[in-house]
């Protein structure tokens, strides 16, 4: 380490954000670039801890202490090489990952939680590399003559495609939407990650030989048989996009929507598309059911559209401010986290359950709730039960269901190819990410279930290694630490 006493001399300085009053008026990213001098100080806080537990927290196995030290020393060219060695898209993870590496940082051991600002340093490295022209295409030295189809263009699909193209396979990425990116494109609002970051990576990948095909829905307008006939291997990266529903009285009322009906429309408008009958929050009472990232994205979007009020509902209790005794470091800390969207206004109600949606003439007007408590059960998870006499009502013009995803959508591809699913309807795979069908691989949420972007990229890299081994008998590709 360049400065062994850095963590003693300086405290953690969180990423700076644009003022709420300013950022809710536009759709630009809310995080400000780091000051170079401040970044140097923060990188110097990475201590020579002997066992870098940040590696344990990162599914990609990012070599975090190395590039922290390189930033401290001002060796930016080497820092981006070290970062890219394990992560194809640090500009995505540096903006969107919840940073489990920071949870595992040795400086996060105590209750005060002062880990190194790993995420901020990561995104600063890649943004500077793009700015300085340090991110260039890496086409293969020779072609293998093998063709690989990648189905789905989210982070898993893009990672698999880039890895496979760089070792000489002809890769075609099929995306059912009208633009490349999967949930990166249409599930993440512009204010969290501007889509120019996807577009410039696409240009690099195209220069490396990747072909992108949009509006290509396998099993619908693209015959499954064509994939088997025209490609030597297939990598399924369709995600886990089957949204969890809330089947209570009034679910059919106009105004109740899945989050993924709402968020893509807002992004399309920002990209210049005309959206007919757009779901819009202007001057409306908005309720978001679900306290995760997708719920926060709905909240931030509603604020920017001019909602009259925004309320977030969470069925679980309010998390503690510090780790509980049964949640020790370096586990993921189950503590209260406030998303930037929550800073922008609105209210969060914890330990509440929706009883019904109420309306008039088929149109949503209000929501009926009840408070709940979680009662401990010996040898079993806590049991939820309603609190008598705690019923309440909230005005509601729009309700967005953001309660997570239950698995991959049902696809004729599975039955047609004879692909086995597990008990949770995820695609089964071996250690190399190959399904029970030879030559057909899977990566990302389609096999893991709903998870983090770092896991998606890690899975894509692992699948690429498996495909290369399958096609060539050997491989030089590096996967992750899974």
When the pLDDT of each residue in the chain is averaged and rounded to a whole number, the result is 95
- Tell me which of 41-55, 64-78, 177-191, 342-356 is least confident: 41-55
pLDDT of 284 above 70: yes
pLDDT at 433: 97
pLDDT of 337 above 50: yes
The residue ranges of DSSP E strands in 259-362, in sequence order, are 285-289, 309-314, 347-350, 352-360
pLDDT at 122: 98
Number of structural domains the chain divides into: 3
Same domain, 312 and 394: yes
Could you give the dihedral angle defined by the CA atoms of residues 242, 248, 251 and 253, in that order, rounded to the nearest 10 degrees? -170
Q: Is residue 443 part of a domain?
A: yes
C-alpha atoms less than 13 angstroms from C-alpha of 25 in its C-beta half-sphere? 5
pLDDT of 453 above 70: yes
pLDDT at 56: 82
What are residue 395's DSSP bridge partners? 366
pLDDT at 480: 67
Same domain, 108 and 16: yes
pLDDT at 57: 87
- Tell me which of 110-119, 131-140, 455-464 is least confident: 110-119
pLDDT of 246 above 50: yes
Same domain, 391 and 441: no
State the CATH number of the domain containing residue 205. Answer: 3.50.50.60
Same domain, 389 and 420: no
Mean pLDDT for 135-143 is 97
Same domain, 175 and 75: no
Mean pLDDT for 333-345 is 93
Strongest mean pLDDT among 46-50, 330-334, 349-353: 349-353
Mean pLDDT for 222-226 is 93
pLDDT at 47: 87
DSSP state of 327: S
Using an 8 Å Cβ cutoff, are 461 and 88 in contact? yes
pLDDT at 482: 46
pTM (two decimals): 0.96
Range of the domain at 203: 147-241+406-472
């Amino acid at each position: 380490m360049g400065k062994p006493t850095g963590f003693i001399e300086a405290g953690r300085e969180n990423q700076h954000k644009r003022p709420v009053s300013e950022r809710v008026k536009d759709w630009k990213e809310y995080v400000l670039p780091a000051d170079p001098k401040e970044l140097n100080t923060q990188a110097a806080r990475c201590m020579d801890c002997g066992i870098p537990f940040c590696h344990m927290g990162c599914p990609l196995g990012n070599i975090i202490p190395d590039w922290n030290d390189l930033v401290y020393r001002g060796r930016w060219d080497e820092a981006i090489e070290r970062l890219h060695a394990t992560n194809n898209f640090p500009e995505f993870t540096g903006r969107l990952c919840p940073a489990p590496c920071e949870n595992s940082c040795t400086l996060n051991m105590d209750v005060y939680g002062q880990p190194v600002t790993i995420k901020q340093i990561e995104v600063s490295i890649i943004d500077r590399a793009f700015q300085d022209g340090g991110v260039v295409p890496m086409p293969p030295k020779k072609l293998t003559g093998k063709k690989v189809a990648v189905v789905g263009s989210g982070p898993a699909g893009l990672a698999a495609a880039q890895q496979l193209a760089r070792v000489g396979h002809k890769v075609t990425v099929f995306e059912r939407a009208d633009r490349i990116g999967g949930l990166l494109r249409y599930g993440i609002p512009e204010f969290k990650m501007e889509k120019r970051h996807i577009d410039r990576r696409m240009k690099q990948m195209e220069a490396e030989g990747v072909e992108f095909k949009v509006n290509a829905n396998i099993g619908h307008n693209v015959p499954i048989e064509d994939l088997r006939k025209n490609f030597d291997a297939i990598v399924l990266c369709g995600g886990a996009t089957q949204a969890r529903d809330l089947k209570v009285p009034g679910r059919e009322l106009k105004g109740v929507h899945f989050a993924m009906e709402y968020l893509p429309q807002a992004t399309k408008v920002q990209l210049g598309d005309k959206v007919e009958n757009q779901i819009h929050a202007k001057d409306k009472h908005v309720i978001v059911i679900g306290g995760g990232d997708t719920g926060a994205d709905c909240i931030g979007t509603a604020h920017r559209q001019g909602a009259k009020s925004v309320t977030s509902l969470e069925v679980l209790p309010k998390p503690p401010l510090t780790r509980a005794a049964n949640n020790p470091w370096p586990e993921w800390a189950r503590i209260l986290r406030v998303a930037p969207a929550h800073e922008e206004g609105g209210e969060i109600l914890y330990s509440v359950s929706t009883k019904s949606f109420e309306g008039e003439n088929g149109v949503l007007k209000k929501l009926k709730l009840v408070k709940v408590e979680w009662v401990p059960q010996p040898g079993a998870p806590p049991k939820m039960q309603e609190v008598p006499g705690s019923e309440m009502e909230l005005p509601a013009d729009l309700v967005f269901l953001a309660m997570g995803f239950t698995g991959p959508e049902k696809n004729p591809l599975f039955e047609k190819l004879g692909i086995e699913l597990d008990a949770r309807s995820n695609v089964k795979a071996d250690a190399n990410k190959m399904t029970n069908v030879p030559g057909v691989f899977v990566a990302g949420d389609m096999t893991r279930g709903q998870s983090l972007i770092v896991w998606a990229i890690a899975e894509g890299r692992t699948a690429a290694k498996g495909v290369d081994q399958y096609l060539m008998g050997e491989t030089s590709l590096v996967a992750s630490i899974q």
